[in-house]
A and B are shown apart, each in its own frame.
Chain A
Amino acid sequence: MTQTSRTLVTMPATAKKGEVIDIRIIVQHDMESGFRHTELGELIPRDIIREFVCTYNGEEIFRADLHPAIAANPMIMFSTIATESGTLEFNWKGDNDYASSTSGKITVT
């Protein structure tokens, strides 16, 4: 069964052509490291996001690999250059068939 979760995106709705824009995204995820135990001593299996990819009008502009030591509800901030109006797509993939995606629109003048 595919798991998904909520996401929050902060990015400008408009920008001038050639301007550097900041993008900030958080995704809801426990990022269970796989090193913790329950009160009864059983190992809690690893359940983390493994990969984040951002595409700008279909072209990949940012990619990140995530690891067990990364905090829950990970926030990623990066910047890019506003080249044309269109859509930025954000995709996360992880353990146990986890997949989330969201997108944001930008108008470039």
Chain B
Amino acid sequence: MMPLKLFTCFMVALFGLSGIVFAESFGADRQSGYALMSKQTQAMQDDPLQNPATFWLLDGQTIWEQKAGKKDVSCAGCHGDAEQSMKGVAASFPKIVNKTLLNLEGRINLCRTEHQQALPFKHESKSQLSIATYVGSQSRGMPIAIEKTPEISPHLEAGQNIFEQRMGQLNLSCAQCHAERAGLKLAGNTIPQAHPTGYPIYRLEWQSVGSLERRLRNCMTGVRAEPFAFDSQEIVDLELYLMWRARGMLVETPAVRP
């Protein structure tokens, strides 16, 4: 018993000192939430004619081609064919744009306000989810490509701190469930490793497509914490950390999750 306890203490000390080691040690056993789903739900994700997110994707394609704003220009007007120009784009977000860390939805809204001179899409509105699903799906099957550059390092560190920070009345951190106890059960469900590979997702519980921000806020409500506001620095930092943690895994957008 004693050596095991000592070993545990040593490991805790080691991981405590270097969170990066902890995250990296996760490496080879990484698994998408897809692997935990029933065969029926997997079939729903795999077949576009069964995946309800296809409706959002098609709506997104319409928005892509629709002229909007004072400039009266469509996304396609500048970017052309999304299948070419948006290939792999979503796999590299969140990203620094004009010295600000933006997620895909934030980047699209920047394009809307600057280049189309239109009103930004509201959070979780059908339009925002549709265009994000359409752009996101152009990276389907490609590896998540977040590189640790000096520019994003502070954000990555901040995101990791949030991931490991206990919060809410239940006093739980993201890591306690999704890193340390991933694969164990929570209320009968297997706890996933929290790799955001398929956002925006069609979540059966939501009966709708939703963004990663919605999912994170959902989790925070679950631990009885006050959710980070949409677009807050904290939530984008956390998104970046999660995407970096899932780097190399394949994009599944639009995924279906229970």
Contact = CB atoms under 8 A, between A and B. Distances in A.
A9 B204 CA distance: 20
Interface in B199-228: 204, 207-208
Given A72-B208, A73-B207, A26 B52 contact: yes
A6 B55 contact: yes
A3 to B, nearest CB: 14
A26 B50 contact: yes
B55 A28 contact: yes
A93 to B, nearest CB: 19
Contacts of B23: none
Q: Give the most central of B59, B207, B208: most A CB within 10 Å.
A: B207
Nearest to A72: B207
A10 B49 contact: yes
Contacts of B48: 8
Interface in B30-54: 47-50, 52, 54
A8 B49 contact: yes
B58 interface: yes
A67 interface: no
Contacts of B55: 5-6, 8, 26, 28, 73
Interface string B51-68: 010110011000000000
A65 to B, nearest CB: 20
Contacts of A10: 47, 49-50
A75 interface: yes
Nearest to A73: B52
Given A6-B55, A6-B58, A24 B208 contact: no
Interface string A33-71: 000000000000000000000000000000000000001
Interface on chain B toward A: helix, strand, loop, or mixed SS? loop
A47 B152 CA distance: 46
A8 B59 CA distance: 13
Nearest to B44: A75
A38 to B, nearest CB: 14
A52 to B, nearest CB: 16
Contact of B54 (A5, A8, A30): A8
A37 to B, nearest CB: 16
Contacts of B52: 26, 28, 72-73
Interface string B154-165: 000000000000
Contacts of A6: 55, 58-59
A65 B76 CA distance: 41
Given A26-B49, A30-B208, 13 more contacts: A5-B55, A6-B55, A6-B58, A8-B55, A9-B49, A10-B47, A10-B49, A24-B50, A26-B52, A26-B55, A72-B208, A73-B52, A73-B207
Interface of A: 5-6, 8-10, 24, 26, 28, 30-31, 71-73, 75
29 contacts: A5-B55, A6-B55, A6-B58, A6-B59, A8-B48, A8-B49, A8-B50, A8-B54, A8-B55, A10-B47, A10-B49, A10-B50, A24-B50, A26-B49, A26-B50, A26-B52, A26-B55, A28-B52, A28-B55, A30-B207, A30-B208, A31-B207, A71-B204, A71-B207, A72-B52, A72-B207, A73-B52, A73-B207, A75-B50
Closest 10 A/B residue pairs (Cβ): A72-B207, A28-B55, A73-B52, A10-B49, A8-B49, A6-B55, A6-B58, A71-B207, A8-B54, A26-B52
